[in-house]
Amino acid sequence: MSLRSTILLSLLLVVAGTAATVTAAPAATAPAAVTSTSPPAPPTSSPIPKRPEEIAFEPLAFEPPDASSFRRTLPDGTVAYLAPSHEFPLITVSITFRGGASLDPADSPGLAAMMARMLREGGTAKHPAAEFDETLDFLATDVGVSATDTFTTATMNCLTSNFDESLGLFVEMLRSPGFDADRLDTAKARLVEGLKQRNDDAASIIGREWKQLLYGPDHFEGAEPTAASVAAIDRPRLSAIHRRIVHPGNAIVSVSGDFDEAEMLAKLTKAFDGWERGESVAPPAAPKATLTPGLYHVPKDIPQGKVLIGCRSIVRDDPDAIPLMLLNEILGAGGFTSRLMQKVRSNEGLAYSVRSALAPKVDYPGDFKAGFESKNATVALATKIVLDEIATIRNELVTDDELDTAKKSLIETFPRQFESKPQMLRVFVNDEWTKRPADFWKTFRQKVASVTREDLQRVARKHLDPDQMAILVVGDWDAIAKGDLEGRATMKEFFKGSVKHLPLRDPLTLEPLPEAQHSR
């Protein structure tokens, strides 16, 4: 018998509880015997719960980080948030500038977005576009720039080993963009091709018209580029909006990754040296337009109507913001636990997806809206159910279980706001720009937990009035208006049957299209 077989047999005998002595075959390195005198003690096992709800979890213990612990100031006055971590040899730098679409001239919507795009694609004054791209690729450095309604953000991800060179190129791009003429022409051509497709999807149509109903076409929220406004974008215009937005006096920096804090502060100071500080951009102006309640329709020859129902709502820091967030969770934002999903989809089968959304703005009221897509014949019935649920949540208290589920959704997902250091720094930067109350994150969960059913009914009655809402429908009105075959609802039930038919707009000019083209 071999040594391996001898040992295996001895182990089996021990497990079986048999005392035995096994003698190995002669071998120069084999032990004489393997002996067992008593069986081993059985392992101690913890009881397994019979049902999942019997599983006990440790209480959630998480405290949000303090922004001041990460906040530093460069010698020129620029604020920087630094969060070193040494898990990977990578560094992420993000510079957020105030101003985006909010600074677009009235005759040039989309200018800030094009400026952001060309910052990255257009090279620099020293490095032509192709050379700049090749250098970044060689360094394995990823750089991107994007503009939203109110902010423009430039981000760089690179290896720790080539950070100095990557940072130099990154800041060079921001300080002295090349705005390459050929690439600008290409970008404009691509944008125009995108504009041509704006009427292909009802979602694009309803989003465009909804913003105009809420904010008006003269406010940047409701403004849309046209082929003519895109053609008018040139290097002087890009340079002008670049000078207004991209400079240290209008910036907050955040850095996370593998670095020493003192060394990073010195490198940022050197990179920003000599970069002229301009004036910080002011917060955006509030829209002058107000939403007129009513039923609106945009023609589109499609088998399913797309619907939005909603109104202007609150500012972000409104005292009712947290109760209204919970109310929205119960009404339509909570997925399959929400009332709208249960009633419209699960019970009636009228829509694959239906939900509500609360989108407050920092500087002026945002909106609340509920939306769905349903067969033409059932659009009226689904609309009626949504409005009935809004009326019910105003007139009746929500259940204890509904409120408890909504609270748990907000409280138990709360740590995800800070799940990574780059994400944490984004929160800090946004809070500083928007002057969020200093104790907001520290007290958020306690405020959520303290909300009562009566609070929800109060905010529902104050902020969700169906009579003050607009209903916007995109689809075939003749098929939609008459309602379902069972006669449970027609579109005549809303606003006494009065409907305002909005034109389908030409995707390139936004001028009304002839009726014959509404199916395109």
pLDDT value of residue 49 = 86
Looking at residue 40, its pLDDT comes to 58
Sign of CA dihedral 12, 13, 15, 16: positive
Find the helix packing angle between 163-175 and 111-121, rounded to 10°: 140
Mean pLDDT, all residues of the chain: 92
> What mean pLDDT comes out for the span 3-11?
45
pLDDT in tens, 30-79: 444 444 455 555 555 567 888 888 888 887 689 999 999 999 999 999 99
130-175 pLDDT, tens digit each: 999 999 999 999 999 999 999 999 999 999 999 999 999 999 999 9
Read off the pLDDT of residues 241-264 as tens digits, 9 standing for 90 and up. Answer: 999 999 999 999 999 999 999 999
**217 touches 104 (CB < 8 A):** no
Separation of first and last alpha carbons in the chain: 85
Sorting pLDDT into bands at 50, 70 and 90, what band is 87? very high
SS3 for 143-158 is EEEEECCCEEEEEEEE
User: What pLDDT is recorded for position 48?
Assistant: 85
SS3 64: coil
d(CA 259, CA 266): 12
Task: Let me know: does 6 contact 25? Beta carbons within 8 Å.
Answer: yes
Query: What domains appear along the chain, each with residue ranges and CATH number?
Result: 3-50 (no CATH), 71-272 (3.30.830.10), 294-438+445-517 (3.30.830.10)
Flag whether pLDDT at 15 surpasses 60: no
Q: 29: pLDDT confidence band, cut at 50, 70 and 90?
A: very low
In tens, the pLDDT along 423-441 reads 999 999 999 999 999 999 9
Using CA atoms, how far apart are residues 5 and 509, in angstroms rounded to an integer?
85
Q: Are 414 and 445 in contact (CB under 8 A)?
A: yes
**What CA–CA distance (Å, rounded) separates 144 from 135?**
15
- The rounded distance, in Å, linking the Cα atoms of 116 and 414 is 32
The CA distance from 518 to 196, in Å, is 14
Above pLDDT 90, what percent of the chain?
A: 87
Q: pLDDT-based confidence at 1, cuts 50/70/90?
A: very low
Residue carrying the six token digits 């719960």: 49
pLDDT band (50, 70, 90) for residue 519: low
Give the mean model confidence (pLDDT) for residues 398-419. Answer: 96
User: Do the beta carbons of residue 252 and residue 70 sit within 8 Å?
Assistant: no
Q: How many Å apart are CA 176 and CA 184, to the nearest integer?
A: 16
How far is 300 from 108, CA to CA, in rounded Å?
Answer: 28
Contact 393, 458 (CB under 8 A): no
- Axis crossing angle, helix 111-121 with helix 181-196, rounded to the nearest 10: 130
pLDDT value at residue 447: 98
- The pLDDT of residue 36 is 46
Give pLDDT tens digits for 281-338. 999 999 999 999 999 999 999 999 999 999 999 999 999 999 999 999 999 999 999 9
What separation in angstroms does the CA of 473 have from each of 257, 298, 465, 499? 48, 6, 19, 10
Give 517's pLDDT tier (boundaries 50, 70, 90): low
Q: Report whether pLDDT(200) > 50.
A: yes
Across the beta sheet with 470-475, what order do the strands follow? 354-359, 367-375, 304-312, 470-475, 294-299, 499-501
The per-residue pLDDT for 26 is 42
CB burial of residue 383 (10 Å; 0-12, 13-18, 19+): buried
Burial class (CB in 10 A: 0-12, 13-18, 19+), 454: exposed
pLDDT at site 53: 84
- Section 92-98 average pLDDT: 98
Of residues 394 and 9, the one with the higher pLDDT is 394
